[in-house]
Amino acid sequence: MLSVRDLDVRYGEIRALRGVCMEVAQGEVVTLLGGNGAGKSTTLRAISGLLAPTGGDITFEGESIVGRRPEEIARMGIVHVPEGRQVIPGLSVLDNLRMGTSNGRMSRKDVPAGLERVFAVFPRLYDLRPRLGWSLSGGEQQMLVIGRAMMANPRLLMLDEPSLGLAPIVVREVFRIIGELHEAGLTVLLVEQNAYQALTVADRGYVVETGTVVVSGDARDLLDDDQMRSAYLGRTAAGGSSVTAAVPPRDVDGAS
Ligand SMILES: Nc1ncnc2c1ncn2[C@@H]1O[C@H](COP(=O)(O)OP(=O)(O)OP(=O)(O)O)[C@@H](O)[C@H]1O
């Protein structure tokens, strides 16, 4: 469904991505792991058209999407939930959800079916629907932004660190929901620092370091791999852990 080939992205002189290659097949949950500053969010931003690559290609369902505007890419069915739970604070939960159909892919008439789909996965949002966005807890806000993305009926859902800053019990709930979306057949590209839990729900994983994919494989194999365990899963894998590999300094032009 999605193919990323030799992707290069720069922020001025900083080479944020160099030669990233990855694939996502229909119905898969694929996780992109890596430490701070590795290039995970940059990869998602390039896929959704927010950043123009300086090299390589990105194809979605066989068509190159490089150079297309973000609105056009969203209309094709790639829905990006950025890091940071961007709930619209002054709107109710219901109105936040309705906004999910305003990306040109769906229209007002699709709202009832969208709400039904969202409330089936997030019954809690049904109870919260008159509440204002700002009054929700962090976990509820995360459910709301995923729910809003679901309103657009995505073909590919890209989630950027949905577990960030949440209490462990809520983190488990977020991963349970991702597992449910997977079972329902949704294709998900999941950026996470919570490597253990991400690999538990994913089919496959890629580890990025300083803008390059350094490890990739089936999620089960990555969970069982000794090198992966010591470098990325930490000693507390059974209790859930973060990507812990040391990230060397990033190359800047002239310094590499
Ligand atoms: N707007 C920007 N301007 C300049 N450099 C940037 C910008 N955004 C990111 N970078 C740099 O690009 C590199 C990759 O950043 P990116 O945000 O993709 O990492 P990440 O893997 O998502 O990290 P994190 O988990 O901390 O969010 C980093 O070196 C970062 O400092």
Domain 1-70+188-245 has CATH 3.40.50.300: yes
89 or 252, greater pLDDT: 89
When pLDDT is cut at 50, 70 and 90, the band that residue 251 belongs to is: very low
32 vs 30: CA distance, rounded Å: 7
Question: What is the distance in A from the centroid of ligand 1 to the CA of 20?
Answer: 15
Q: What is the number of the ligand 1 atom nearest to the C-alpha of 39?
A: 18
Q: Are 110 and 101 in contact (CB under 8 A)?
A: yes
What is the reported pTM? Answer: 0.88
| Mean pLDDT computed over every residue of the chain | 87
Report ipTM (2 d.p.). 0.96
The most confident of 22-26, 112-116, 140-144, 232-236, by mean pLDDT: 22-26
* Identity of the residue numbered 208: V
| Average of per-residue pLDDT across 51-70 | 96
Report pLDDT digits (tens) over 96-123: 999 888 766 777 788 899 999 899 988 9
Q: Which pLDDT score, from 0 to 100, does residue 170 have?
A: 87
Q: Which residues contact 13 (CB under 8 A, 6 or more apart)?
A: 252, 253, 254
Q: Measuring from atom 28 of ligand 1, which residue has the nearest CA? A: 37
Question: What is the distance in A from the centroid of ligand 1 to the CA of 4?
Answer: 18
66 vs 60: CA distance, rounded Å: 10
Question: What is the distance in A from the centroid of ligand 1 to the CA of 142?
Answer: 22
When pLDDT is cut at 50, 70 and 90, the band that residue 234 belongs to is: low
Q: Where are the domains of the chain?
A: 1-70+188-245
* Identity of the residue numbered 174: V
CB-defined site of ligand 1, < 6 Å: 11, 14, 16, 34, 36-42, 193, 250
Best CA proximity match to 185, nearest among 3, 24, 28? 28
Report pLDDT digits (tens) over 181-200: 999 899 999 999 889 999 99
